[in-house]
Amino acid sequence: MLRRCSMSHFFIATVVISTLISILGQQRPWTTMLPQELLGLDLRFDKNATTMASTDFGRLTQVLPAAVLYPSSVQDITTLVKSSFSSYLPFSIAARGHGHSIHGQAMAHNGVVIQMGSLNHTHEIRINVSSSSSDFYADVGGEQLWIDVLRATLRHGLAPPSFTDYLYLSVGGTLSNAGVSGQTFLHGPQISNVYELDVVTGKGKMVTCSKHHRSELFYAVLGGLGQFGVITRARIALHPAPQMVKRTRLLYTDFSAFTRDQEYLISLNIGEGFDYVEGSLIRDETEIDTWRSSFSKKDKEKIRSLLAKHHLIYLLEGTKYYDTVSAPTADQEVDLLLNGLTFIPGFAFKNDLLYVGFLNRVYDGELELRHKGLWDVPHPWLIIFVPKSRISDFNEGVFKKILKRNSTMGPVLVYPMNRNKWDERMSAVTPDEDVFYHVGFLRSAMHDWEYLEDQNKEILSFCVDNGIKTKQYFPHYTTNTEWKNHFGPKWNKFIERKKSFDPKGLLSPGQKIFTSMPWQWK
Ligand code: FAD
């Protein structure tokens, strides 16, 4: 730690940082001493710290930063960014939430990575639940994990309405993307459920923003891929939490019946249908057995015989929330819903789960995969949003043909969302249709990750060649033209916002959006 380092350590640190810090992406030696204002920060240059920050969940990229900041207060972050912004030799800075990116998005080549989780180790309480006359909300630190937000809010009988499937992700990290799951069709992505933010901009200024105050920054940051500021606090909407969920899994062999039912279910309003709708593919025996499916032995046998005949099964998953008051009618409501659906007769599977157990279901999967040595492996994931009008072509070309060539590689998720639950003013992008599908290829690879990356490219090429206008979620591009296409009509706004809030291009360099000098941004 710099705070305690001797003169020799200080000298090494200065030399190291001088060789590493870059001016807007260009390597230049930093000849001056480490600025005075950084001396009080817990800024670490050792191999342990920099190696940790050089990798992520994807395990496909390795990029070493010059240093890692372990902030003990939000002020430390402001100090760091301000120091870079006002320096003649600015350095890049990346906030790292939980490092669950795939392609190095939270890395900073020769810059400084901020280990956001360090804020959690201060004495300050970083999750505070409150209410106004009309709303319940929680003020949570950007570094907080959603599992901790859930646990803290449940103590008040409340919970956020919109989650991700996996809860060990940081608030700042998912709000920089969108935060989607089976509740998105009803409540919008997590970015649609934020009232207010505290953000340290690329100029090192702490700004509180909302829809009504400094709204340009507010909308920029939500889905903004970390480009406009570091989120240090988010005010998240809360709803009364249910206690239990009725989970229903329905099987289909006819893709159009599967999507018709999904689209019908997401057209229903709150209270009329399911509270959560997702879907996935079952393509081989191993997918019947995974932690994600958790069918009983008898049900597995039944599904196996179906799979032997059809080779590709579509699984629709819907859940209905309930509590002690609604318990007596919850079953009837689900049965009524099922009456209108066209799944294969006899292939509806129901079970009851605790609400928290349901929301935290992927964690069980993590433990299982860790146990098998399959968690800390390369993850060549691809997640795209596919417009509803072309999902059937996507099924024919990708699920039935391209994917046919390899079997086990992780879940493939397929579920629709309503665009009217997304706010166009935010930076996040979606396809240009009222309904679009989230299609996630959540691949784990032992040795063949290059092959799977190639297959991802093949899927994207198939879409381009067939005029299927997808948008990548959690996007990964390397050229200006690709980013321009990704943002489409939002691109000019994105650049304007970058010029306003991070004019020196310091923040989140790992996204590789602004790789040229600011005057070349176009
Ligand atoms: P990081 O990977 O640390 O950071 C992601 C980006 O956000 C980086 O550019 C970083 O610089 C920036 N950033 C981080 N913190 C801040 C901050 N405080 N302020 C500003 N910028 C910041 N996504 C979904 O939407 N739904 C899912 O169901 C879902 N499930 C997932 C399951 C797993 C197992 C994994 C690995 C990922 C999943 N994701 C899901 C993707 C997830 O949203 C991204 O990984 C996201 O990046 C959050 O991860 P993180 O908190 O570790 O962020």
Kindly report, residue by residue over 151-187, the tens digit of the pLDDT: 999 999 999 999 999 999 999 999 999 999 999 999 9
The whole-angstrom separation of Cα 2 and Cα 197 is 30
Ligand 1 pocket: which of 101, 162, 498 to mutate (most atoms <8 Å of CB)?
Answer: 101
Q: Which amino acid, 59?
A: R
Residue 221 CA to ligand 1 center (angstroms) comes to 14
- For residue 292, the model assigns a pLDDT of 66
Which residue in this structure is represented by tokens 């449940």?
Answer: 154
- For residue 25, the model assigns a pLDDT of 38
Q: Which amino acid, 318?
A: G
Percent share of the chain, pLDDT over 70: 92
pLDDT, averaged across the chain: 91
Structure tokens at 379: 């993850």
Q: Which of 56, 165, 453, 502 is catalytic?
A: 165
Q: Is the pLDDT of residue 514 over 90?
A: yes
Write out pLDDT tens, residues 348-399.
999 999 999 999 999 988 998 899 888 999 999 999 999 999 999 999 999 9
Per-residue DSSP letter, 163: -
Which positions ≥6 away from 360 have C-beta within 8 Å? 147, 150, 167
Residue 296 CA to ligand 1 center (angstroms) comes to 33
- For residue 102, the model assigns a pLDDT of 97
Q: Is the pLDDT of residue 331 over 80?
A: yes
CA atoms within 13 A on the CB side of 86: 12
Q: Which of 56, 76, 98, 100 is catalytic?
A: 100
Catalytic site residue 100?
A: yes
Catalytic site residue 433?
A: no
Write out pLDDT tens, residues 54-107.
999 999 999 999 999 999 999 999 999 999 999 999 999 999 999 999 999 999
Residue 395 CA to ligand 1 center (angstroms) comes to 28
Catalytic site residue 278?
A: yes
The whole-angstrom separation of Cα 355 and Cα 337 is 20
Task: Categorize the per-residue pLDDT at 3 as very low, low, confident or very high, splitting at 50, 70 and 90.
Answer: very low
Least confident among 291-305, 426-440, 456-470: 291-305
Q: DSSP characters for 437-451?
A: EEEEE----SS-HHH
Tell me the pTM.
Answer: 0.94
* 44 within ligand 1 shell (Cβ under 6 A): no
- For residue 406, the model assigns a pLDDT of 65
Task: Categorize the per-residue pLDDT at 447 as very low, low, confident or very high, splitting at 50, 70 and 90.
Answer: confident
Residue 169 CA to ligand 1 center (angstroms) comes to 6
